[in-house]
Structure 1
Amino acid sequence: MKYRIKTWGPGLLLLSPSIVLIGIFVYGMIGATVNVSLTDRHSAQPAENYVGVDNYTDLASDDRFIHSLQNLLILTVVFVVGTLVMGVLWAFLLEKGVTAEGFFRSTYLFPMAVSFVASGVVWRWLLNSAEGENAGGLNALFGMIGLDFLQNPWWSHPDWGMAAMALPAIWQLSGYVMALFLAGFRGVPNELREAARMDGASEFKLYRHVIFPQLSPVALSALIIIGHMSMKMFDLIMAVSGAQYLTEVPAVYMWQTLLANDYAKAAAIAVVLLVVVAVLVVPYLISNARAERQR
């Protein structure tokens, strides 16, 4: 028994401060949020009664919440697809070999160093649909080159404004996906490439049947990471468009509800978001843990 304590005791002591802090400020806060979501606290006054899942059933019939979920779906799809396409393309070009690769790699990764708020302010100007001297950068450019039909929409467009909101996020995180796939490309053994070429495989077949199948874990990791980031996106949307109904997602709606002192409803929205993210992330973590044990 003493030997076992000496074995795992120092490690437990080293980790115990982090365990306590995570237990209080992560899982404790989650528990408190769930508790509030089950009450009737719809004002600044303390809750008086537990109402069970009434707040959740009310959300199911809340048109504004449904609208925010639809916006989140559009944002997530455009963001994930755009980021993966741009990231894989950049990684492929760098993997094929270019002059000044270090410069281009740093350039692609630079947007990650910029906060969502700072980039959101810049992209708000770029996507501004105002006319004349106050027109945003892209709109002014389109006006100068005669593409007037592209001037007005962007994030304020009622049909595809939410898709335009994904542009700043794609610009900011494509470099991260590029780094993941570039590391995956460089991790494929040269023996596999040479063996495929000796068997007569063209470059297209080499990537289609040999290299890209090796990158499926990288693709899954990228999909999970950027997918859950899009579901929690708040600061970028607030910086670009503010709390507007047209571009409202659950995180923004939760913030607006919290400002209105409807704590129970805001907590219910937070729990729904947590469940959505968990449905995406937890299976990946379980699969990753199993793969590690098999190794």
Structure 2
Amino acid sequence: MADTSSPDMRTRLQNWLPKLVLAPSFALVLFFVYGFILFTIYLSFSDSRLLPSYGLVGWENYSKLFRLSHWETAITNLAVFATLYIVICSVIGLLLAILLDQKIRGEGVLRPIYLYPMALSFIVTGTAWKWMLDPGIGIENTMHLWGWESFAFDWIKNRDYAIYTVVLAAVWQSSGFTMAMFLAGLRGIDNEILKAAQMDGASNWQLYRRIIIPQLRPAFLSAFVILSHLAIKSYDLVIALTGGGPGRATELPATFMYSYTFSRNQMGIGASSAVIMLMTVAAIMVPYLYAELKEKK
């Protein structure tokens, strides 16, 4: 009897051991991630100010949020920043991937150079670009020292152009990562298809336009999802580079949420802006995950 039950016991232990090992991590994620998401949603419907409050005010915080000119500025800046960031990163990443896919000499050196900026934190990137773009010590001052006294590059101090300095820094950091995704996609294309097209007389332009780039659709979709997510939650880069200024010229939803929650003591409005950001990310991620799962099935 004992001999027959012992293997069953070992089998049950083997089945339960991974679950027991993962249970603490699962419980912590469930509480500290999803629990606090639900708590933030609750706060967005409360009259919380300096501290959390449990008096519900319905949709009042959302109504106030969309009447604020600061929130409108943050949304407009996000639209400009996200559009330029995603498009420029995708174009540069694709061009770099095509360059490296030509089996050029020194690919092993160039690839980590392009990827290196992604290894830096956004704080480091923002600080470095702040120094470079500062008219007093950066590119403009260097050009003046070299004799080009008429050279002017004060975008970081100009309300009309400051948001584009955030785009520059973000593109510099993320283009290498986008290149890696496209390069993986290029290396996964069947060479037999390309050889057959070349035998039929297809030029290099036709190969890329009709065969290679259409087969990179999964890489384009992955790049769009990841870059959109990074754009929506951009906070540390903006704080390190411009601090949201000059004025509110570079304020994004993430900086708006922080300032209204911790500086203006409007926790309810800050929570409602965080929920809007969460819903925006979910609107991008959920269809993507659904498409991926459907494709695997």
**What is the TM-score with the length of structure 2 in the denominator?**
0.90
Q: Name the CA distance, whole Å, in 2 between partners of 1:142 and 1:80.
A: 30
Does 1:277 pair with 2:284?
no
Q: Name the CA distance, whole Å, in 2 between partners of 1:108 and 1:175.
A: 5
Deviation per residue, 1:240-270 (Å, 9 max, x gap): 0114311111111111112222111111111
Residue equivalent to 1:203: 204
Q: Name the CA distance, whole Å, in 1 between partners of 2:147 and 2:103.
A: 34
Q: Name the CA distance, whole Å, in 1 between partners of 2:15 and 2:36.
A: 29
Does 1:151 pair with 2:158?
no
Q: Name the CA distance, whole Å, in 2 between partners of 1:140 and 1:79.
A: 27
Deviation at 1:68, TM superposition (A): 0.5
Q: Name the CA distance, whole Å, in 2 between partners of 1:288 and 1:205.
A: 29
Contact 2:74–2:253 (8 Å) recurs in 1:
yes
Residue equivalent to 1:63: 69
**Secondary structure of 2:249 counterpart:** helix
Task: Kindly name which structure, 1 or 2, has the bigger radius of gyration based on alpha carbons.
Answer: 2
Aligned AA for 2:148? G
Residue equivalent to 1:248: 251
Deviation at 1:7, TM superposition (A): 8.1
Any runs of at least 4 consecutive aligned residues in structure 1 with deviations exceeding 4 A, and if so which?
A: 2-8
Residue equivalent to 2:46: 39
**Secondary structure of 2:21 counterpart:** helix
Aligned AA for 1:257? Y
Contact 1:140–1:151 (8 Å) recurs in 2:
no
Residue equivalent to 1:24: 31
Which of residues 103, 112, 132 is equivalent to 2:118?
Answer: 112
CA 1:107 to 1:261, structure 2 compared with 1: closer, same or farther past 3 Å? same
CA 1:194 to 1:95, structure 2 compared with 1: closer, same or farther past 3 Å? same
Aligned AA for 1:230? A
Deviation per residue, 1:21-46 (Å, 9 max, x gap): 111011100011011111111233x5
Residue equivalent to 1:77: 83
Does 1:286 pair with 2:290?
yes
Deviation per residue, 1:221-254 (Å, 9 max, x gap): 0111011111100001000011431111111111
Contact 1:123–1:168 (8 Å) recurs in 2:
yes
Contact 2:94–2:179 (8 Å) recurs in 1:
yes
Q: Name the CA distance, whole Å, in 1 between partners of 2:65 and 2:12.
A: 50
Deviation at 1:145, TM superposition (A): 6.0
Contact 2:160–2:249 (8 Å) recurs in 1:
no
Aligned residues: 285
Q: Name the CA distance, whole Å, in 2 between partners of 1:82 and 1:66.
A: 24
**Structure 1 stretch displaced more, 195-204 or 35-44:** 35-44
Structure 2 residues without counterparts, runs of 5 or longer? 1-7
Contact 1:83–1:174 (8 Å) recurs in 2:
yes
**Secondary structure of 2:46 counterpart:** coil
Contact 1:37–1:265 (8 Å) recurs in 2:
yes
Deviation at 1:149, TM superposition (A): 5.1
Structure 1 residues without counterparts, runs of 5 or longer? none
Q: Name the CA distance, whole Å, in 2 between partners of 1:256 and 1:59.
A: 13
Q: Name the CA distance, whole Å, in 1 between partners of 2:279 and 2:12.
A: 37
CA 1:48 to 1:221, structure 2 compared with 1: closer, same or farther past 3 Å? closer
Q: Name the CA distance, whole Å, in 1 between partners of 2:167 and 2:270.
A: 24
**Secondary structure of 1:246 counterpart:** coil
Aligned AA for 2:258? W
**Structure 1 stretch displaced more, 267-276 or 35-44:** 35-44
**Secondary structure of 1:159 counterpart:** coil
Deviation at 1:78, TM superposition (A): 1.2
Q: Name the CA distance, whole Å, in 1 between partners of 2:77 and 2:59.
A: 24
